[in-house]
Every structure is written in structure tokens, then in C-alpha cells.
Structure 1
Amino acid sequence: MGGTTGNDVEPELITLDQLTPDRLNTLIKLENIQFANNALGETFADAENLLSINHTLEDCSGNNVLLRSSGFSDFATRLVPEGNGSLIAIYGVFGSDKQLLLRDVEEVQFDAERCDPNSVTINEEDIITVAEMFQSYVPGVETPLDDKFLQATVTSSDEAGNFFKSLVVQDATGGIAILVDEFDLYENYPPGQEVYVALRELCISDYNGLPQLCYTNSTSSVKRIPSSQVGNIILRSSNFGEITPVVKTIDNISLSDLNTLVQLNDIQFAPSSASMTYADTENQFSVNHTLEDCDGNTIVLRTSGFADFAGNITPTGNGSLTGVLQIFSGTLQMYLRDVSDVNMNNNRCGQTGGGGAFYEEFEGLNDFDNIFLPGWTNVATKGDRIWIKRSFDNNGFAETEAFQDSNPETENWLVTPTIVTSETASISFKSAIAFFEHDGLSVWVANDFNGDVSGANWMPLPATLAKESDGNFNWVGSGVINLTGFGAEVHVAFKYEGTAAANTTKVRIDDVRVE
């Protein structure tokens, strides 16, 4: 028996918070809604690659839902409208995400002025602090929370890729990480943004010792707040400002500082971690590096292999670092928001400005240690290999090579402390090579070196260096080289260049004497 055609179906006028299961697969109408800021200027879908795109719709109270549009749709190439207004769509769910599907773009009528969902009005008696929120928490037990609001300020940022689907907030009493199933959180929740977190659908859980806010209704093992609910739960206020990190020392950091922004002063990367990449960019693995202070206290800095700065080289100097403190299985860890939060341009612990006579035999380090000595600079400018301490027959020396390097090119510099030529006018050293394939060592001098080898004007230094005809591991004296003609204060650099494919000669330096 046939039915009739041409019947009009009236959409049900509802609000975003009325998208309930009984309305699934029905035609609904929403008013006073708009596309979120991060969707403005974008097309409805990707017509070039025929890919569907999810955009976020929001109302003026901060509630939101996804609008999903197909790359095959006739309106895929059209820009989403920038105004506020009404929309007719079919309501559905994918996984835990509520989403809307348009029948036609003409059913989107956004002609009114946009509203500001940042405006939040919450009763004062419903606002609690981080410390008050934790009063009901039983450590190790997933604890549902009351119908209250947490007022806090965002301290983390995923812009550089070191935080993943996590938003860290804090107030004067403590901090908490929030599990969020969304990327690019910094666009709506940058550091310094004040938020009100609706706790009625959230719980506190524990991830290897780190307290986190989880989504109670999630069926996933990692209970993140669904993307469609983020704006409903994490409400932005109109307040925004810089957040000042708490200055701590490594030895007085405590568990009460977890999930807060901490600044450590007078610290440096340990010799095993200095002049290394922050993380493993090739395999995109996270890497733990050791930070130390001048008293020998240490703490871990953990960096994601997906961070924009994962391939940057860790500094060799001393200074400050600001990051979010977290913990994993009893090990405290610092997380950078961006590499700009690292400022280490001072001398390392025990270093002085140099100037006087010295004699360096490279005996004060363990075998295979990276060479970090008072006043010296050791840095890679291609690849990540730097000079290391080696020894033979109880004699220590500096060594480097490109053999079996995982990087195609190797270039590193070992730079002396400052030499004041009015006090110490000459330098001498000895060099040795082995397994000759190329002349990889050169020696340079500069009078404008300030810690950055690429920023100095280097001049070649006339020195006698070990060559192929000298054989393997035979020491060759450089001769005494006068430095007075190069400037009042100079640095001498031992530069190695090689390639893993062919130019792999091993080079050694020892007995550097300035007098």
C-alpha cells in the first residue's frame, strides 16, 4: 500500500541542551546559534579531497554540537557564515559525539550579529576551589563530583604539540588536568584564560599518580570529555591575563605542586642530556631528559616526539625553565608548553668567565660522557653527535666521529673558555686520527663568540693537525700558536665535519694548553 508524497515535516524547535536520545534521527531546529570562532573562514567540507568535516556550533551560553558536512555535498566549497541565527538539521550521534546533518545549506540562516559565549553568570555559592574539589576524592578511586563549578585559569598549551588532549588549569589552591577529546585546545583555551568547569558530569581519576578530571558518562577506557560537550563543560569567562609561575627549587617541589605552572631557576641539563634533541623525531617517541641544579638535585623533563620543538637541541648553559609539573609512577616530570620557556644562557655550575691560563687533559669525566667542562661549549650543528670523553691506557681525551651516525651529516664544535690574550697569548694541543677516510678536523678562532657558534665570525687557526700519513691513534703536536693578532678576548674551536656514508674518520684532541 503506497503512501503520500509532498508532505511537509515540521522541525521541532529545541535548544542545544535538549538534544536527548529520544530526538535521535529527527528533524530539529535551533535558534540563536553560530559557528565557533575556529570554524570561521573555513568551508563546510573538503571538496578537493572529498572529505567530510566537523565544525562546532555554539549557542550564547557556551553549549555546542558538531555539524558534519560531506565533501560530496553541493555546498562543500561554501564558507560557513559568520553571523548568528537559526538552523534546521537531522540530529544523530557518532560514538559519544552528538552531531547534526544538513539537508540543504539554505536551511542555515545566520544573518544576525554574533553573541559572546564567553559571558558566564554563575552563582557565587556554586563555585569551589581545586582544594575543595579534592576534599571528596579518594586516592586511587574514581570519584564522581557534585553539581558545582571549578573556577580556575588555564596554564597548559597544546599549540606546540607537547600536550595531547589535555587541558591543565589551576587556582591559588592547586591544579588539575582535564581529559578532553579535542585537538588545538589553545585556540579557545589559551594560557591565561579563566574558565568555569561544570563538575556535575565529571569525576576525579588517577593516572599513575596524576589526578585528572574525567567524563563520568564515557564508555572509553580513557574517559575524555567528548568534543561536542567541551564548550558545555569548560566555560570561558571574560577574564584573561598572564599567569605567573611559582618559583621553586628542585628539592622543595612537592605533590601539592602537581598540575601547576612551576619555574625552576639556576638549573641546567645534565651532561648526558645537554646538546641532545628534546625528543625522538624520527620515531616520534617521547624522551626523558635530566635537569640538575648546582647542588646535584635532579628532576625529569619529558618531551613528546610530536612536539614542534622535539628536534631542537637542548642548551648547554645554566638558567631557568618554566613548565607544568606532573608525575608518572612516582617520578616527578616537567612538561614544557613551548621551547621559549627555556632560558639557559648563563655559565654552567662551576664555570667562570675564563681568561687565565689553563691546561685541559679531559680526565675529570667518565668514559663516554658528553664533554661539559667549566667554560667550554660542546654543541652539534648538524645531527646530534657531540664530543665525548674517551680514554686509553689511563689517558683521557676528547673524541668524535661520523661512523655509524644515524644522521647523514655530522658537524660539531668543541669551544674553549674565553682566552684573554694580554694574559695568555698562546695555545697548543695535540690531535690524533684513526680509520682515515677524510680530513674532518679544523681549528678556528673568534673574538665575538657569545655561546652561539653560528653567530660568530670564525677565522681559521694555523695549527698542525694529524693526517692520514700519521697512522692510527698517533698523537701529533699542533705547535704553539700565537693568539694576540686575533683580538683581546678570543675563543678557539675544534670543529669536526663528516658524513655517515663516507667521511667517517675518528678524531681525538688532548692536552689543550693556554698560557
Structure 2
Amino acid sequence: MKPTARRCKAWLLTALLLAGCDRATTLEFGEAEQPRPTCTIARLKSRCEGASYPVTDQTVIRGIVTGNNRYGEFYNQLVIEDASGGLAIAAEYDAAENAYPLGEELVVYCNGLTLYDYGGKIELGKAADGNLCIPRDEADKHLRLSGLPAARITARPVRIGELTPADVDTYVRIDGVRFAQRAAWCDFDPETGRYVTTERTLADADGNTLAVRTLGGCLYAGEPLPEGNGSLCGIIGYFNGSFSLRITGIETSFVTPPATPATAYP
């Protein structure tokens, strides 16, 4: 081969390699080509060691949606969970459209978002002008459904007296409990004509109690609390040293197993 031909061949090979590198390093993908998570939820939350932490790298997490505002239970908020833990995300979205259904896998592009400490609980949002919610017009940039078939959400059994920080923002089931009050989920304010966010007390047979926090704007705010003994499912909350429970998907949240022992409750 002549020197000129060899030089042309080498130049062509180099050009092809450079073009290949350009394509490989360009962030271009469709719905079926979304990137894999770069870290777990627990690892992402561990970055926030102070009041807030801005995410400035290409961090991607994935999690199953376990809490949304379909029934008015999580206003401007989503909760997702992976094998390492759960995370609350502050975001503006139209609940009527059910944009992020329960059981769907959500891909979260964290670059440009901020982790913040809210009463000891790490959440993810958008720090801008004091509004922590991801604006509706930016939601598609940061929050995308993976397109995989929806998962069947299974609540993990826990006991009130054994809750730890690792349980925060995870979907759990608490068995053998009852409500200490006979009332509606939320109190009614006659001055405003609206139901208000209310905490009710859940008790177990060992005398442990847990606050169940329900937003006044939820669809079942005026309905009576379940009576008797049973199991309650929801998301574990936390604020300033106290755990709580937030109901998610009220239609299937409370059951009364026939084998529940008739023990004396506080």
C-alpha cells in the first residue's frame, strides 16, 4: 500500500472512532432508553448533611411510586421507594391526571434539584425563591415514568415500638392496631367550612402509639375512622423526633383480620 493510501485509511479510521465517541458520550435517549440509576435513594439522601444540598452532577435514581395525591393525601408531593429506602419529592403536578400512578417506576433526574432537611427528614425539591416544589413546567425534565409494567405494591410489616430512621418514607403495614378515638379522619372547622389537617392516635397491644396524619383536603376527610382491630398501611413520616403515618391509597388501607386476638388496648 502506498504511503498516501495508508495515511487516508488512518485518517478515516480516526474520524470514525471520534464520531463513535461523540455519540457514546451524548445524553440522547428515548423513553425506552432511559439511563440506569447512578445511586440508591439512601446514598442520595446521605449527601445532605446540613440544611440543604444542591445536586449538581448527573445523578439518576429510580423508585416505585408509593405515595401520590390521587386521593388528596400528598399535596404537591410524591413518595418513591427502592430497596435501600424511601424519598419524598416536592413537586407540582395535576393529581386529576394521575401523572405518577401508584406502583409505577419513576426515574428522577436530580441535577438541578436540592436535598433539604425538613425537621430531620431528607426530601428532594427545587430551591427557588423559597418554593421547594419542582415547578409544573419543569416536572417532565426531572420526573419520568420508566414505562415498565406497574408493580404490585407490598407493604413491609413493622411494629410501632421498633421504628427507625431507615423506615422514614417507606411503605409499611402495622398489624394488631386500633384507633384510640371514634371520630372522622379530620376535624371540621365551622368557621371556614372546611376539614383541617388532623392527627389521630393509633395504638397497639403493647401500649405503643403512633400519630396518623391526614390532610384536610383528602377525599375521605369526613369519613369515620375504621373501628375494631386490624392492620393499617401507609408511609412513615418524621418531624422533629416524632414518627407518624400517612395513609396512601385509602381504598385498600385498612382490614380487620378474623384472627386478631381480642386484647385490651389503651
Indicate whether the TM-score tops 0.5: yes
Say whether the 8 Å CA contact 1:300–1:332 is kept in structure 2.
yes
TM-score, normalised by the number of residues in structure 1 = 0.42
1:121 matched residue in structure 2:
34
1:342 matched residue in structure 2:
254
Rounded to whole Å, the distance in 2 between the matches of 1:227 and 1:315 is: 35
Q: Does 1:318 align with 2:229?
A: yes
Q: Any residues of structure 2 matched to 1:99-498 within 5 Å, and which? A: 118-122=31-35, 124=36, 127-138=38-49, 140-145=50-55, 146-184=57-95, 187-216=98-127, 218-219=128-129, 221-239=130-148, 240-270=150-180, 273=181, 275-281=182-188, 282-340=193-251, 341-344=253-256, 349-350=262-263
CA change 1:158–1:189 in 2 (3 A) is same
Q: SS at 2:255's partner residue?
A: strand
Deviation at 1:228, TM superposition (A): 0.8
AA in 2 matched with 1:121: Q
Deviation at 1:249, TM superposition (A): 0.7
State the identity %.
26
Rounded to whole Å, the distance in 1 between the matches of 2:225 and 2:126 is: 37
TM-score, normalised by the number of residues in structure 2 = 0.80
AA in 2 matched with 1:171: D
Rg: which structure is higher? 1
Deviation at 1:121, TM superposition (A): 2.2
2:17 matched residue in structure 1:
none
AA in 2 matched with 1:160: Y
Structure ranking higher on relative contact order (CA contacts 8 Å, 6+ apart): 2
Rounded to whole Å, the distance in 2 between the matches of 1:280 and 1:190 is: 28
AA in 2 matched with 1:159: R
Structure 2 stretches of 5 or more lacking a match?
1-27
Query: What is the root-mean-square deviation of aligned Cα atoms in Å?
Result: 2.3
Deviation at 1:348, TM superposition (A): 7.2
CA change 1:348–1:283 in 2 (3 A) is farther
AA in 2 matched with 1:230: A
Q: Any residues of structure 2 matched to 1:55-134 within 5 Å, and which? A: 118-122=31-35, 124=36, 127-134=38-45
Say whether the 8 Å CA contact 2:91–2:134 is kept in structure 1.
yes
CA change 1:329–1:294 in 2 (3 A) is same
CA change 1:185–1:234 in 2 (3 A) is farther
CA change 1:253–1:213 in 2 (3 A) is same
Rounded to whole Å, the distance in 1 between the matches of 2:257 and 2:218 is: 22
Structure with more strand by fraction: 1
Structure with more helix by fraction: 2
1:475 matched residue in structure 2:
none
Q: SS at 2:256's partner residue?
A: strand
Rounded to whole Å, the distance in 2 between the matches of 1:348 and 1:118 is: 50
Deviation at 1:198, TM superposition (A): 0.4
Deviation track 1:319-359 (CA, whole Å, cap 9, x = no partner) reads 100001111222211011133201236567427xxxxxxxx
AA in 1 matched with 2:162: N
Q: SS at 1:300's partner residue?
A: strand
Say whether the 8 Å CA contact 1:317–1:345 is kept in structure 2.
no
Say whether the 8 Å CA contact 1:155–1:191 is kept in structure 2.
yes
Q: SS at 2:233's partner residue?
A: strand
Q: Any residues of structure 2 matched to 1:30-45 within 5 Å, and which? A: none
Rounded to whole Å, the distance in 1 between the matches of 2:186 and 2:144 is: 34
AA in 1 matched with 2:32: S
Q: SS at 1:238's partner residue?
A: coil
AA in 1 matched with 2:45: F
